[in-house]
Amino acid sequence: MSPRSRERLRRSHLSAEIRPELDGQSVRLLGWVHEIRDLGGIKFILLRDVSGICQVTVKKNALSVEKLKDLEDLGAEDVIYVEGVVRKQPKARLGVEVLLKDYRILSRARRPIPYDVTGKVPANIDTRLDHRILDLRKPENKAIFLIASTVLQAIREFLTDKGFVEIRTPRIIVTATEGGAALFEVDYFGRKAFLAQSPQLYKEELTTVFERVFEIGPFFRAEESHTRRHVSEFTSIDIEAAFMDLYDVMKVLEELIAHVHRRVLEERPRELEMLGVELDVPKIPFKRYTYDELVKELKEIGVEIEWGEDFGTPHLRILGEKHRGYYFITHFPTESKPFYIQPCEDDPKLSESFDLMHDWLELASGGTRISDRSLLEKRLREQGLNPESFKNHLKVYDYGMPVHAGWGLGFERLLMVLTGRNNIREVILFPRDKFRLTP
Ligand code: AMO
């Protein structure tokens, strides 16, 4: 005899589908107990499922004595199955309730629950992250990740439409691309390897195969700085395209950002409202400032900055006050950028590079890349790197390397902007930083 599978209870509706128009209809629901309110003769169970929360009303005379007694034990976060009848109820939150006819408790949560999912007890970010799975059940926190899912989908559809091919490059690598200090070392069968900081060299190489590529994936930086915008594991949206320069890829980037805004507005209005965010589709093209212009601007208001120096947080804070929303900073000093960035032909002190900013937050960086092998070798040496360590990459330059350009966009930083959160940890399901490796 084959083993019998456990009886599976099925729902007829999601809680968000319970509307006054269903008045009189029998429904079956599945979900978690968000909250219970007991008013003596009457009990209200707020039932939460993926779609939202609906009110289940228990009239004491509607259940058998036994069932009623069992219900006394019901607690927050228990999983229940509910059978009931929809009734218009102007006093209920959404103008409707489900009158309980029968129920089953499918899984009991151990009490006391260490964290209040209803949000009545305020919690700081560390407490929230310590109890992350419960914290994520809060509708407004879940909303962030529903938006995140829409954003990912929008990015994929936009880039695919523009002829970009989605690629996957290795996470275990042997050479650093974005500066040696921020690398995590891995013992790779007794050999020294590193967790990838970005797909930089692979995405450049792959333009010789697919011309336009993109990748969405986790990358790793051993960030010593404990800030609200840095984590050790982040998601990078990367593109790289043959026969494009910095201006071409900046255009792709601003159009992508506008597309993402449109999609989120279309598909997630409820979630935006829950988060208290008023989103507008940004006007493109975004404003563009050169590094030189902004250094001058800072100096004019008495801020100390040396030409050549990268903008630090205090500089960016000041610039962000003056320049709101999205804007580009272009033509950084070649010295301040990685070895693969193309120096400007007419002034090699400057580079064909850019950052995309939102207020004071850096969201992306990119530029035209060096496509000439000897120049790349020279730049490696100038940055104190040994071309020999990059021989596999350099080899590709001997097989026909087109002019190419690209960028890397921090997915979580974009989400911070879209969801109005000011700590990157809020927009990562299970964030990793210097002090946090669990949950
Ligand atoms: P960069 O190092 O500037 O460029 O990174 C690109 C973008 O990734 C995000 N980011 C981070 N987000 C959270 N935590 C971190 N520790 C972190 N580090 C980076 C930022 C940043 O703007 N290869 C180049 C991109 C390119 O030129 O194509 C690169 O990695 O939003």
Both tokens of 215, joined, read 């990748």
pLDDT bin (cut points 50, 70, 90) of residue 27 is very high
Q: Is the CB of 364 under 6 A from ligand 1?
A: yes
Say if 257 falls within a structural domain: yes
pLDDT at residue 161 in the model = 98
Averaged confidence pLDDT in the chain: 95
- Is 352 an active-site residue? no
**Count of CB atoms within 10 A of residue 34's CB?**
22
Cβ pair 80, 105 in contact under 8 A: yes
Does ligand 1 have an atom closer than 6 angstroms to the CB of 432?
no
Say whether both 99 and 228 belong to one domain: no
Round to whole Å and give the CA distance between 437 and 133.
15
Ligand 1, closest atom to CA 239?
28
Tell me the torsion sign for CA atoms 8, 9, 13, 16.
negative
* In a shared domain, residues 59 and 186: no
Domain match, 190 and 67 both: no
Residue with tokens 């950028």: 337
CA–CA gap between residue 303 and residue 300 (Å, rounded): 7
115 domain residue, yes or no: no
Using an 8 Å Cβ cutoff, are 320 and 287 in contact?
Answer: no
Res 40 pLDDT > 90? no
User: Contact, 404 vs 213, CB < 8 A?
Assistant: no
In this prediction, residues 173-178 reach a mean pLDDT of 85
Residue 210 and residue 330 in one domain: yes
Which CATH number goes with the domain that contains 7? 2.40.50.140
Domain hosting 348: range is: 134-427
Residue closest via CA to ligand 1's atom 10 equals: 410
Residue 199 CA: distances (Å) to CA of 62, 91, 206, 219, 244 = 62, 55, 10, 8, 18
Judge whether 146 and 271 are in contact, CB under 8 Å: yes
Within-domain flag for 328: yes
Pick the residue whose CA is nearest to atom 9 on ligand 1.
410
Q: Is 410 in the pocket of ligand 1 (CB under 6 A)?
A: yes
Q: How high is the pLDDT of residue 176?
A: 80
The confidence band for 225, taking pLDDT boundaries of 50, 70 and 90, is confident
In the predicted model, is pLDDT for residue 61 greater than 90?
A: no
Residues 272 and 163 in one domain: yes
Total domain count for the chain?
2
**Tell me, what's the pLDDT at 307?**
94
Side chain identity at 153, as an amino acid letter? Q
| pLDDT tens column, 143-158 | 999 999 999 999 999 9
CA 353-355-356 angle, 5° bins: 140
- Ligand 1 geometric centre to CA of 365 (Å): 7
Q: Is 288 a catalytic residue?
A: no
pLDDT at residue 180, as a whole number: 61
pLDDT value of position 181: 67
Report residue 175's pLDDT band, with 50, 70 and 90 as the boundaries.
confident
Q: Which of 107, 126, 145 is the last residue of a domain?
A: 107
Q: Is the CB of 406 under 6 A from ligand 1?
A: yes
Count Cβ atoms below 10 Å from residue 355 Cβ, excluding itself: 21
Residue 2 in this model has a pLDDT that exceeds 60: no
Q: Residue 402 in contact with residue 351, Cβ under 8 Å?
A: no
Cβ neighbors of 95 (< 8 A, separation 6 or more) are 20, 88, 89
Which of 227, 236, 352 should be mutated for ligand 1, with most atoms under 8 A from CB? 236
Looking at the fold, whether 185 and 63 belong to one and the same domain comes out as no
Of 164, 178, 422, best ligand 1 pocket probe by most atoms within 8 Å of the beta carbon = 178
**CA within 13 Å, CB half, 289:** 18
pLDDT given at position 6? 65
Among 160, 166, 331, residue whose Cα is nearest residue 252: 160
- Ligand 1 centre distance from Cα of residue 115 (Å): 34
Under DSSP, the state recorded for 22 is G
For residue 250, tell me if it sits in a domain: yes
Options 230, 288, 373, 436, the catalytic residue: 230
The reply to whether 362 belongs to the active site is: yes
Angle at 147 between CA 141 and CA 148, to 5 degrees: 95
Ligand 1 touching residue 255 (CB < 6 A): no
Distance from the alpha carbon of residue 413 to the mean position of ligand 1, in angstroms? 10
Q: What's the helix, strand, coil split of the chain in %, to 5?
A: 35, 30, 40
> Pairing mode, if any, of strands 165-166 and 212-220?
parallel
- Asked, for residue 114, whether it belongs to a domain, the answer is no
422: how many CB neighbours lie within 10 A of its CB?
A: 9
220 within domain boundaries? yes
Mean pLDDT of 65-83: 94
Q: Measure the CA–CA gap between 69 and 158, rounded to whole angstroms.
A: 55
**Is 129 a domain residue?**
no
- pLDDT at residue 188, as a whole number: 97
pLDDT reported for residue 4: 62
pLDDT of residue 428: 98
**Is 182 in the same domain as 99?**
no
Q: State pLDDT tens for residues 180-201.
A: 668 999 999 999 999 999 999 9
Q: Identify whether 126 is part of a domain.
A: no
Pairing type for strands 326-330 and 287-290 reads parallel
pLDDT of residue 5: 62
Asked if 12 is an active-site residue, the reply is no
* Domain of residue 399, CATH code: 3.30.930.10
| Structure-model confidence comparison of residues 179 and 356, the more confident one | 356
Percent pLDDT > 70 in the chain is 98
What residues have CB less than 8 Å from 214, skipping those under 6 apart?
159, 164, 165, 166, 167, 237, 238, 239, 240
Q: Would you call 365 a catalytic residue per the annotation?
A: yes
Q: Is 248 in the pocket of ligand 1 (CB under 6 A)?
A: no
Find out whether the beta carbon of 233 lies less than 6 Å from any atom of ligand 1: no
For residues 420 and 359, state if they share a domain. Answer: yes
